């Protein structure tokens, strides 16, 4: 394969904002991907998602207002078929800015990126009850958007892989380092041409905005040892419930189990896990009322909805740790965590969940005990 070796004049084709956008988008996507699926890092995932969306909006605007080679109007996307047909021949074309395939990659990545971002916002608002769309859609609809969020993210990952392969191929065919060009902004051509403007002030604004956003979003970790990035709803509480249940263990909020489970437990209070609660009848009635009004069927929180959804109507479970959703979420917890001196048993939710006493069980409020703190 003969390399093209007549590209001898250097020219700045990528302005600073375009290059900063490109690499910030890469970093944002990496953080998004590394934190997906692990509830402990939901706050990082969400921030990276906001950054990702903000960058997409910038690129959309910059596609109309940016420098010559960043503008969509200068993308040679209509030449795609001729470009591909001659790519591996001596008639292959060299483009100073985006080639036709790269032009289509930019359009598709922007489109998919917006789809990923929008479904992410809908998931955050529906399932997690946070973000600008908090509580505007149901848990069920939020869960559906979550599935689409994951599907579009995988499609986008595949497209990025194809894009990287295309960049490597193009670099090889034309004997130029396109990755380096996106760092330096410099490409090579056969004829002298003018450099694009730097737009330094806009580039500085982008960097400072990103840094200030990071400090603003994560400053709680610098102020509080057990910082909770997401605060759940203020669930109804009952003094008698706290006293009667909290005397022996965590007063599990009634939203964690269906009403029928609490009713059965209170009806059989003389044999409450081999203990007698010795409750007066009027106290039983008060507790039953509180439990039924705030049971899992009422979907007060995400965990309540997911717990209730995973329990069949004929099941009357008396232990939260027997719920299918609970076992699925905890199946990968290592045995040494369960044996940790701060945990000891599976029902000790407060050992890992900072908001267990409030009953909200926010995803990002989970902190597993460190290995260095294992049994003495």
Q: How many CA atoms lie within 13 A of 269 on its CB side?
A: 16
Whether residue 213 is found in the same domain as residue 244: no
- In angstroms, the Cα distances linking 106 to 22, 25, 103, 113 are 11, 12, 5, 10
Q: Which of 188, 218, 248 is the last residue of a domain?
A: 218
State how far the Cα of 364 lies from the Cα of 123, in Å rounded to an integer. Answer: 15
Phi, psi of 372 (to 5 degrees): -70, -10
State how far the Cα of 340 lies from the Cα of 338, in Å rounded to an integer. Answer: 6
What pLDDT shows up at residue 160?
Answer: 93
What pLDDT shows up at residue 145?
Answer: 97
115-169 pLDDT, tens digit per residue, is 999 999 999 999 999 999 998 999 999 999 999 999 999 999 999 999 999 999 9
Q: Which run of H or E residues covers position 243?
A: helix 239-246
Whether residue 282 is found in the same domain as residue 211: no
What pLDDT shows up at residue 2?
Answer: 43
Burial tier of 340 (Cβ tally within 10 Å: 0-12, 13-18, 19+): buried
Burial tier of 213 (Cβ tally within 10 Å: 0-12, 13-18, 19+): middle
State how far the Cα of 333 lies from the Cα of 339, in Å rounded to an integer. Answer: 11
State how far the Cα of 137 lies from the Cα of 49, in Å rounded to an integer. Answer: 20
Whether residue 361 is found in the same domain as residue 330: yes
Whether residue 172 is found in the same domain as residue 205: yes
Place of tokens 């060299």: 94
State how far the Cα of 310 lies from the Cα of 322, in Å rounded to an integer. Answer: 11
- Write out residues in the chain with pLDDT < 70, as ranges: 1-7, 371-376
Whether residue 66 is found in the same domain as residue 212: yes
Nearest to 32 by CA among 104, 124, 107, 126: 124
What is the number of residues in the chain? 376
Whether residue 18 is found in the same domain as residue 161: yes
Does a structural domain hold residue 2?
no
Does a structural domain hold residue 131?
yes
State how far the Cα of 306 lies from the Cα of 324, in Å rounded to an integer. Answer: 9
What pLDDT shows up at residue 9?
Answer: 79
Paired sense of beta strands 186-189 and 9-12, if any: antiparallel
What pLDDT shows up at residue 248?
Answer: 86
Q: Quick check: helix, strand or coil at residue 314?
A: coil
What pLDDT shows up at residue 1?
Answer: 39
Does a structural domain hold residue 228?
no
Eight-state DSSP code of residue 353: B
> Which residue range forms the structural domain that includes residue 112?
9-218
Task: Check: CB of residue 150 under 8 Å from CB of residue 170.
Answer: no
Q: Which CATH number does the domain housing residue 81 bear?
A: 1.20.950.20
Whether residue 25 is found in the same domain as residue 125: yes
Tokens in use for 305? Answer: 């909805």
Eight-state DSSP code of residue 366: B
Tokens in use for 258? Answer: 């269906």
Whether residue 13 is found in the same domain as residue 140: yes
Q: How many domains does the chain have?
A: 2
Whether residue 207 is found in the same domain as residue 269: no
Whether residue 246 is found in the same domain as residue 214: no
Dihedral of CA atoms 232, 222, 34, 256 in degrees, nearest 10, equals -20
- In angstroms, the Cα distances linking 93 to 104, 175, 259, 262, 274 are 16, 13, 70, 73, 81
What pLDDT shows up at residue 106?
Answer: 94
Whether residue 245 is found in the same domain as residue 210: no
Whether residue 158 is found in the same domain as residue 282: no
What pLDDT shows up at residue 92?
Answer: 83
What pLDDT shows up at residue 375?
Answer: 41
Q: How far is CA 254 from the centre of its chain?
A: 29
């Amino acid at each position: 394969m003969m390399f093209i070796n007549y590209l001898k004049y250097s020219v700045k084709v990528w302005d600073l904002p375009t290059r900063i956008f490109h690499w910030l988008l890469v970093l944002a996507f990496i953080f998004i991907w590394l934190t997906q699926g692990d509830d402990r890092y939901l706050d990082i995932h969400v921030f990276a998602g906001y950054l990702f969306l903000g960058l997409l909006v910038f690129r959309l605007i910059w596609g109309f207002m940016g420098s010559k080679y960043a503008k969509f109007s200068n993308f040679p996307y209509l030449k795609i078929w001729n470009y591909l047909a001659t790519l591996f021949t001596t008639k292959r074309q060299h483009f100073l800015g985006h080639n036709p395939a790269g032009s289509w990659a930019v359009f598709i990545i922007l489109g998919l990126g917006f789809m990923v971002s929008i479904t992410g916002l809908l998931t955050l608002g529906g399932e997690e009850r946070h973000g600008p769309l908090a509580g505007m859609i149901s848990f069920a609809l939020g869960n559906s958007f979550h599935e689409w969020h994951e599907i579009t993210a995988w499609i986008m990952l595949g497209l990025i892989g194809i894009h990287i392969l295309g960049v490597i191929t193009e670099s090889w065919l034309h004997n130029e380092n396109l990755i380096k060009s996106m760092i330096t902004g410099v490409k090579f051509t056969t004829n002298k041409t003018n450099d694009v403007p730097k737009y330094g002030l806009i580039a500085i604004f982008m960097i400072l905005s990103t840094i200030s956003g990071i400090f603003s979003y994560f400053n709680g970790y610098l102020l509080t040892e057990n910082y909770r990035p997401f605060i759940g709803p203020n669930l109804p509480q009952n003094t008698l419930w706290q006293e009667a249940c909290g005397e022996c263990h965590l007063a599990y909020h009634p939203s964690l189990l269906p009403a029928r489970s609490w009713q059965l437990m209170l009806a059989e209070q003389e044999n409450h896990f081999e203990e007698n609660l010795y409750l007066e009848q009027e106290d039983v009635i008060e507790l039953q009322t509180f439990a039924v009004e705030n049971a899992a069927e009422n979907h007060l929180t995400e965990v309540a909805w997911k717990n209730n959804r995973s329990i069949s109507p004929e099941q009357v479970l008396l232990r939260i740790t027997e719920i299918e959703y609970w076992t699925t979420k905890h199946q990968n917890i290592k045995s040494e965590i369960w044996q940790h001196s701060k945990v000891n048993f599976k029902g000790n939710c407060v050992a890992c969940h900072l908001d267990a006493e409030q009953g909200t069980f926010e995803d990002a409020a989970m902190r597993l005990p460190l290995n260095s703190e294992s049994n003495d």
